[in-house]
Chains A and B, each alone.
Chain A
Amino acid sequence: MTETLLEIDNLGVDYETARGDLKALRDISFDVKKGEIVGIVGESGCGKSTLISSILKLTAPNTRFRNGEVRFKGQDLLQNNERQMRSLRGSDISIIFQDPMQTHNPVLSIGAQMVDIQHRSKAAKADKRATAAKMLAAVGIPDPEARLDQFPHEFSGGMRQRIAIAMALMSEPDLLIADEPTTALDATLEVQIIERLHELQREMHCAVLFISHHLGVIAELCDRVVVMYAGAVVESGDVRAIFHDPKHPYTRRLIDCDPGHIKERARVLPTIPGEVPDLANLPTGCIFRDRCEQAGPRCAAVPPLAGIADGHNAACWLNHKGGVS
């Protein structure tokens, strides 16, 4: 059994707003094992961004951690102070952001930025530069030596995202968080980035927490998947279990909706009618109840995230004895 690297246990996060407390995350539990790629899927407003900022403790000032723990190598990150967190970020935990156009400092050359992020290392500057060039080559940038002296605007979006990956992996982190790293890119570049990420991950054995709303990418890359909806985990499990045998109606609907799934031209594409509920004014019972076609009387109570098979969990009464009635 492989060792657990990151354990999110019963995490609850609120935002204090003028309209009252917004329950952004509720009872989030899942873990990431060493060297594993875990995908987090969910649509806008599902709490993906809050989750990432909570793990890194880069939260907005109006954030309140209500309950739960975020354990990294057994240590609760929520108890860490800012100095302890800073020594983790960018060394043990790295992150790649969504927009490759905004992640680099526009007035510094790529080389300078890549040398700069090695500030923890005691190596000579020339060695740091060599490391930087090696990383650029590893993510498939041609003439890495020469391109170190270029500035971010001289690279295309796809290249910038690859540079971001190179920079994130330079510290050989144990955990890489990738926040929608391909959303801003074309399909062709998306594939390039994913393949490169996968290759490097296998070489360096780091764990990846990959956040995306693109089901195709998740299916392509991940070992395990966590499905989130409106601030809660509705299902989690092995990638094949999630895509071939989804146990939560939301997961099922989400996969049905993906037009990549539908090979023949469809007159009417499936959708999920209704809106995501207001998190400042939570409805009672199952969070998906209002949009669920299979909802029954039992759904007035919140279903627990319960195990169905080995490592496969879903929060739906349909999987319990007696169903929804």
Chain B
Amino acid sequence: MSLLSVKGLKTNYGPVNVLAGIDFEVAAGETYALVGESGSGKTTVIRAIAGLAPAQEGSVLFDGQEIRGLPERALRPLRKDIAMMFQDPVGSLSPRLTIGSLITEPYRIQGMRDRDLDAEAKRLLEMVNLPAHFASRYPYQLSGGQARRVGVARALALEPKLILADEPTAGLDVSVQGELLNLLNDLRERLGLAMVIITHNLNVVRHVADRMGIMYLGRLVEEGTTEEIFHKSRHPYTRCLLSANPEPDPDARLERIALKGEPPSLIRRPKGCEFRERCPMAQEICTQTPQWDIQKGHGIRCLAPLS
């Protein structure tokens, strides 16, 4: 049984249809990446899972229990098992609290006051390779990479089963980015964590995700193992994303599949295939609405898939 199972998740903000039915599953210990342009709804997906964004329809099963629409009081015990990491490393830390109190905040919120919080703070800082004296610092005194580590430490404080991470490497330098990914990979193995990572950086996905889903306009358009998507992707949108990935090699200035225009309006969604107008390979048949088609774990929503 999967740890997290999302089915038909829909979110509307007034007339804006942000999520148009999202389905995916994450097994215990697995890392799943959601990839897409800004505005594709990936942040809304993980916030809706965590109950921080509305979801009018669908179901979110965590460990077999329905958690969509649960009141905050009922969610609180579950928050021990689901931790989140936010995009802005410094901005997601309460600015007037010391690092020590920030990383032990989960214990205080969950009412575990019998613990020796100073010792816990020390242990957590050590786990993310930060010196113990950082406990008395303030967020604004940290670099992006250090603040990100604090975020990881806080997310891991209660030994959750699932981490929802929003762009965990955003704003980090390349050298620090590697450190963070190594840390996540290591902790994931040691603690058996499952993770949902959202990012638009495909280079990052390749090294952390077991499976990945490509989102476009609040829907999944392709899903499969990371290997499969990187080497045998079939949806033109996925191909565009993959080719829009400048490589650090001046001789690899390759021919690209150019992605035309901008994503269409979420208020009046286009008829037929929603990617049609920007698709370099659109055909006659694409005026019809494509259905989700899944074979051997590789799902695709396209009427004219590439081979």
B residues near A190, Cβ cutoff 8 Å: 244, 246
Check B177 against A259 for contact (C-beta < 8 Å). yes
How far, in whole Å, are A215 and B206 apart by their CA atoms in the complex?
Answer: 18
Are the C-beta atoms of A44 and B173 separated by less than 8 Å? Answer: yes
Which of A192, A220, A262, A270 touches B253 (beta carbons < 8 Å)?
A220
With known contacts A187-B245, A216-B246, A43–B177 Cβ distance under 8 A: no
A266 engages B207 (CB within 8 Å): yes
Q: Does residue B178 face the partner (Cβ distance < 8 Å to A)?
A: yes
B174 interface contact, C-beta 8 A: yes
Query: Which one of A23-31, A156-164, A169-177 contacts B?
Result: A156-164
B19-57: which residues lie under 8 A (CB-CB) from chain A? 37-38
Question: Which residue of B173, B177, B259 has the most chain A CB atoms within 10 A of its CB atom?
Answer: B173
B248 and A260 contacting across the interface, CB-CB below 8 Å: yes
**Pick from B38, B176, B207, B259: contact of A259, CB under 8 Å:** B207
Q: Mark B239-261, 1 if CB is under 8 A from A, else 0.
A: 01100111111111100101101
Interface size on B, residues (CB 8 A): 40
A278 at the interface (CB under 8 A from B): no
Chain B residue with the shortest CB-CB distance to A261? B248
B37 to A188, Cβ gap below 8 A?
yes
Complex partner residue of B178 from A142, A195, A213, A257, CB under 8 angstroms: A257
Contact A243-B249, Cβ < 8 Å, known A159-B262, A191-B244: yes
Q: Output the nearest chain B residue to A46 by Cβ-Cβ distance.
A: B173
Nearest CB in chain A to that of B37: its residue:
A186
Q: Complex: how many Å from CA A58 to CA B253? A: 35
| A214 interfacial contact with B, CB 8 Å | yes
Of chain B, the residue at the smallest CB distance from A156 is: B262
Q: Does B226 contact A (CB under 8 A)?
A: yes
Contact of A258 among B174, B185, B256 (CB under 8 A): B174
Complex interface bits, A189-203 against B, C-beta within 8 A gives 1, otherwise 0? 111101100000000
Chain B 142-173: CB-based contact to A (< 8 A → 1; otherwise 0) = 01100000000000000000000000000001
Q: Are A43 and B246 in contact (CB under 8 A)?
A: no
Judged by a CB distance under 8 angstroms, whether B181 is at the interface is: yes
The verdict on A43 contacting B173 (CB below 8 Å), with A258-B203, A271-B182 known, is: yes
Q: Are A243 and B207 closer than 8 Å at their CB atoms?
A: no
Q: A215 near B248 (CB under 8 angstroms)? A: yes
Q: Give the A-B contact count at a CB cut-off of 8 A.
A: 118
**B248:A243 contact, CB within 8 angstroms:** yes
Residues B259 and A269 in contact, CB atoms below 8 Å apart = no
Asked if A272 CB lies within 8 Å of chain B CBs, one says yes
- Name the B residues within 8 Å of A270 (CB-CB): 178
Query: Which partner residue on chain A sits nearest B256 by CB separation?
Result: A191
Interface residues of A in 253-294 (CB under 8 A from B): 253-255, 257-262, 265-272, 275
Instruction: Decide: B246 and A271 in contact? CB cutoff 8 A.
Output: no
Q: Is there a chain A Cβ closer than 8 Å to B201's Cβ? A: yes
Contact assessment for A213 and B250 in the assembled complex, using a CB-CB cutoff below 8 Å: no
Query: Using Cβ atoms and an 8 Å threshold, which residues of chain B touch A258?
Result: 174, 203, 248
Q: How far is the CA of A316 from the CA of B58 in the complex (A)?
A: 60
Which residue of A43, A192, A219, A268 is within 8 Å of B175 (Cβ)?
Answer: A43
Over the window 120-151 of chain A, the binary record of Cβ atoms lying under 8 Å from chain B Cβ atoms (1 yes, 0 no) is 00000000000000000000001000000000
- Complex CA gap A147/B38 in Å reads 22
CA of A119 to CA of B136, assembled, Å: 53
Interface residues of A in 227-262 (CB under 8 A from B): 239-240, 243-244, 253-255, 257-262
A268 and B259 alpha carbons, distance in the complex (Å)? 33
The verdict on B179 contacting chain A, using a C-beta distance below 8 Å, is yes
Cα A266 to Cα B226 in complex, Å, equals 13
Task: From B174, B241, B262, give the contact of A187 (CB < 8 A).
Answer: B241
Residue B200 lies at the interface, judged by CB distance under 8 Å to chain A: yes
- What residues of chain A lie closer than 8 Å to B207, measured between beta carbons? 259, 262, 265-266, 269
A265 with B206, Cβ < 8 A, contacts A240-B250, A243-B249 known:
yes
**Cβ-closest 5 pairs across A and B:** A216-B246, A269-B178, A43-B173, A215-B248, A272-B175
- Give 21 CB contacts A-B under 8 Å: A43-B173, A43-B174, A186-B38, A187-B202, A187-B241, A188-B37, A188-B240, A189-B37, A191-B256, A213-B174, A216-B246, A219-B249, A219-B253, A220-B247, A240-B250, A244-B251, A258-B203, A258-B248, A259-B177, A259-B203, A271-B175
